[in-house]
């Protein structure tokens, strides 16, 4: 696979997240202007989290990071740093959750006791006090639906030949 094709696949992957979390296609540029998203090979360390916090405080934009864990590389691990009601929220492990009738996925912290996070139509992040379910077992079908939707969105985008631009820093990485 060439570097150009790798970049296209990364952009497609991130555009899939934008579609799934934003509720509709063709919003990748808009999503990137409202939400910082990073793709990495491993979980960020403490210094990176401090940098993320400073970035969120400076920009007011939430930051999502996505990485693959060695234990389960096929399921993306998602973290979140966001300013909510004047406080910085750090969530190291969120799961994608997509209800049967939902138009977009929620980010649900893996303990199911910290509520959930949802992007509205303007792509502003909101904290929901109650998680849509109270335990992983109850969320199983909705989590599978979310990850299958992500895979399907990416495959459809790739098949249609959609091209998504990455920010300059991502191209340099």
The answer as to whether 147 is a domain residue is yes
pLDDT higher at 11 or 73 = 11
The answer as to whether 173 is a domain residue is no
Q: C-alpha distances in angstroms, 6 versus 2, 15, 26, 40, 49?
A: 6, 14, 20, 14, 26
The predicted pLDDT at position 95 comes to: 92
The answer as to whether 93 is a domain residue is yes
Q: C-alpha distances in angstroms, 104 versus 52, 84, 101?
A: 25, 20, 9
The answer as to whether 22 is a domain residue is yes
The predicted pLDDT at position 168 comes to: 52
Range of the domain at 117: 3-157
Total structural domains in the chain? 1
Interval 52-96: pLDDT, tens? 999 999 999 999 999 888 887 778 889 999 998 889 999 989 999
The answer as to whether 103 is a domain residue is yes
The answer as to whether 78 is a domain residue is yes
The answer as to whether 14 is a domain residue is yes
The answer as to whether 65 is a domain residue is yes
Query: Residues with Cβ < 8 Å from 146, sequence gap 6 or more?
Result: 20, 95, 96, 97, 98, 105
């Amino acid at each position: 696979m060439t570097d150009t094709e790798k970049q296209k696949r990364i952009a497609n992957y991130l555009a899939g997240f934008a579609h799934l979390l934003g509720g509709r296609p063709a919003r990748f540029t808009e999503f990137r202007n409202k939400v910082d998203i990073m793709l990495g090979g491993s979980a960020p360390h403490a210094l990176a989290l401090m940098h993320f916090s400073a970035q969120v405080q400076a920009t007011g934009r939430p930051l999502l990071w996505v990485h693959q864990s060695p234990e389960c590389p096929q399921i993306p691990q998602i973290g979140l740093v966001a300013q909510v009601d004047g406080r910085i929220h750090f969530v190291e492990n969120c799961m994608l959750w997509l209800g049967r009738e939902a138009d977009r996925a929620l980010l649900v912290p893996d303990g199911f006791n910290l509520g959930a996070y949802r992007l509205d139509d303007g792509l502003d992040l909101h904290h929901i006090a109650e998680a849509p379910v109270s335990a992983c077992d109850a969320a199983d079908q909705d989590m599978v639906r979310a990850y299958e939707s992500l895979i399907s969105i990416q495959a459809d985008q790739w098949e249609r030949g959609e091209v998504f631009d990455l920010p300059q820093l991502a191209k340099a990485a």
